[in-house]
Amino acid sequence: MSANMNLDKEIAAHRSNEVTQRGTKSQAYPVNLPETPAGAASSRQFVTPLDRWIARKMMDLVGNPPVVVRLWDNKQVFAKVENPVATITYRNRKALIKTVIDPDLYWGDLYSSGELEFEGDLVRFLETIVYNLNSAEPSNLFRRFIWGISHRPSINSHTKSQENIYHHYDIGNDFYKLWLDRDHMQYTCAYFPDPAISLEQAQAAKLHHVCRKLQLKPGDQVVEAGCGWGGLARFMAKHYGVRVKAYNISKEQVEFARQRAATENLSSRVEYVLDDYRNIDGKYDVFVSVGMLEHVGLGNYQELGRVIQRCMKPEGRGLIHSVGRNRPMKMNAWLERRIFPGAHPPSISEIMRIFESNDLSVLDIENLRLHYAKTLDCWLERFEAQRPEIEASMGEGFIRAWRLYLAGTASSFRIGDLQLFQVVFANSRNNAIPSSRAHQYAAKAAAKSELANA
């Protein structure tokens, strides 16, 4: 029997006991409540013993983290919590019940709307919750409190992919400028060879790291699938003397990328194409994709492999950089529906669908998980520093949602729920492959020089 059914039975039994003890004066437990204004307590709702029992049971099922929980009467559910990392206040019964019914989706909605008030260290709180859930029994309903509930994700057809990208990336270049690195506008994992370097230096180090793995040389023809604001394409052309054709379906990103290329006198060496990766044509020495695979959709992986096989020269090489997981899992419902529609962080076994049926050989896999946790820490710090400007244009609900997204993702990388894979590959009959990894790591003097000039 599932944990959900067990909980339902316990609630029913507890309610029955309460009715028996209080006789005809007992109130029927309300199920369909009217909406309560965000951030406001409902004066028409009494807190019953059953409400408190549900809240205690909920916290018990997430491992009783050091969190103070208050209900809409502003009284603590537990008498005392030692060294709390956070205080959560439920503003109405409906918010509490939603958390019980579908925590993976509704907790984020409740936090964003203000029906659930949060005080404390959000990243540490989420790390604690995820750690406790990962240590719990797999059948536990609240093991899915933040991540992994089963639901039907969006399908990434040509049209749906455009809608999904618009939802996240076309909300305004000015918004992203406020908290991404200033030099290259990288919305992907940075690389910190020295933990003390700035975000700008770490993003430049990431770009060099990718270029070295691809063994770029002057004159190479490179195709990029999903180019963001075009920073990698410009970097490759400027520092490695290659020509790049970069595909992207975000209109705002492509317009920005073209303007920056013109400003930097790189338009003759970098072409930005407003089109889907499935329409890539031509033959190239190098295929590269950084941060796009998460949006491709599992059902399209073999087709992506066919695109790579079709466009890569016999002695070509490629790299895919993607958020991933240690095992196949569906994406968190709230993140997939509210922040990243259609997204899916794949496991290594899922990524292999790209290569196995398309005669492509994997040469190297590197996991940069903790580098992404640090990157997200930097983004969250900058995001909070720009809160007044963002809130003025986007509103408080947007601020809350994106804070939860950034903090939750940082905690998930740190706790090990998410990984960051860089996969280097080539055609299976390509014998012009490196005999070691020496080309990936520059000498210390060269690395210091690159960081100084970043």
Average pLDDT over residues 392-411: 94
Residue pair 154/75 in contact (Cβ under 8 Å)? The answer is no
Average pLDDT over residues 370-374: 98
Residue pair 188/319 in contact (Cβ under 8 Å)? The answer is no
Q: Determine the Cα–Cα distance for residues 161 and 158; give it in Å rounded to an integer.
A: 5
Q: Is the pLDDT of residue 52 over 80?
A: yes
137 and 184 inside one domain: no
Of 444, 375, 441, 443, the closest CA to residue 213 belongs to 441
pLDDT tens string 260-317: 999 999 999 999 999 999 999 999 999 999 999 999 999 999 999 999 999 999 999 9
Q: Which two tokens stand for residue 142?
A: 């609240």
Average pLDDT over residues 51-60: 92
Q: Determine the Cα–Cα distance for residues 399 and 383; give it in Å rounded to an integer.
A: 9
Is 149 inside any structural domain? no
Q: How many domains does the chain have?
A: 2
Identify the CATH number of the domain in which residue 82 sits.
3.30.1050
Q: Is 295 exposed, middle or buried (0-12, 13-18, 19+ CB in 10 A)?
A: buried
Q: Which of 18-32, 314-328, 364-378, 421-435 has the lowest mean pLDDT?
A: 18-32
218 and 297 inside one domain: yes
Chain mean position to CA 328: 16
Higher pLDDT, 85 or 81: 85
Of 227, 320, 311, the closest CA to residue 270 belongs to 227
184 and 271 inside one domain: yes
189 and 120 inside one domain: no
Q: What is the pLDDT of residue 428?
A: 92
Percent of the chain at pLDDT > 90 equals 66
97 and 216 inside one domain: no
Residue pair 168/341 in contact (Cβ under 8 Å)? The answer is yes
Is 152 inside any structural domain? no
Is 222 inside any structural domain? yes
Number of C-beta neighbours around residue 136 at 10 A: 17
Cβ-Cβ contacts under 8 Å for 24 (sequence gap 6 or more) = none
Average pLDDT over residues 138-149: 44
pLDDT tens string 125-136: 999 888 887 776
167 and 138 inside one domain: no
Average pLDDT over residues 164-179: 72
Is 70 inside any structural domain? yes
Number of C-beta neighbours around residue 439 at 10 A: 12
110 and 205 inside one domain: no
The residue from 97, 116, 144 where one domain ends is 144
Higher pLDDT, 272 or 13: 272
Q: Is the pLDDT of residue 33 over 50?
A: no
* Residue indicated by tokens 């990984």: 419
Average pLDDT over residues 444-450: 56
Q: Which of 28-32, 151-155, 379-383 has the lowest mean pLDDT?
A: 28-32
Q: What share of the chain is helix, strand, coil (3-state, %, to 5)?
A: 50, 15, 35
Q: Which of 98-107, 235-244, 272-281, 367-376 has the lowest mean pLDDT?
A: 98-107
Q: Is the pLDDT of residue 37 over 70?
A: no
pLDDT tens string 413-441: 999 999 999 999 999 998 988 888 888 87
Residue pair 284/312 in contact (Cβ under 8 Å)? The answer is yes
The residue from 116, 144, 172 where one domain ends is 144
381 and 403 inside one domain: yes
Is 153 inside any structural domain? no
pLDDT band per the 50, 70, 90 thresholds, residue 448: low
pLDDT band per the 50, 70, 90 thresholds, residue 186: very high
Q: Is 397 exposed, middle or buried (0-12, 13-18, 19+ CB in 10 A)?
A: middle
Q: What is the pLDDT of residue 168?
A: 52
Average pLDDT over residues 345-353: 97
Supply the range of the domain harboring residue 36: 3-144
Is 22 inside any structural domain? yes
* Residue indicated by tokens 């006991």: 17
Compute the mean pLDDT over every residue in the chain, rounded to the nearest whole number.
Answer: 84
239 and 264 inside one domain: yes
Q: What is the pLDDT of residue 21?
A: 39
57 and 199 inside one domain: no
Q: What is the pLDDT of residue 442?
A: 63
25 and 168 inside one domain: no
Of 169, 149, 175, the closest CA to residue 336 belongs to 149
Q: Determine the Cα–Cα distance for residues 127 and 132; give it in Å rounded to an integer.
A: 9
Q: What is the pLDDT of residue 142?
A: 45
Is 151 inside any structural domain? no
103 and 230 inside one domain: no
Is 265 inside any structural domain? yes
Identify the CATH number of the domain in which residue 398 sits.
3.40.50.150
Q: What is the pLDDT of residue 170?
A: 57
pLDDT band per the 50, 70, 90 thresholds, residue 172: confident
Q: Quick one: three-class SS letters along 303-362?
A: HHHHHHHHHEEEEEEEEEEEEEECCCCCCCHHHHHHHCCCCCCCEHHHHHHHHHCCCEEE
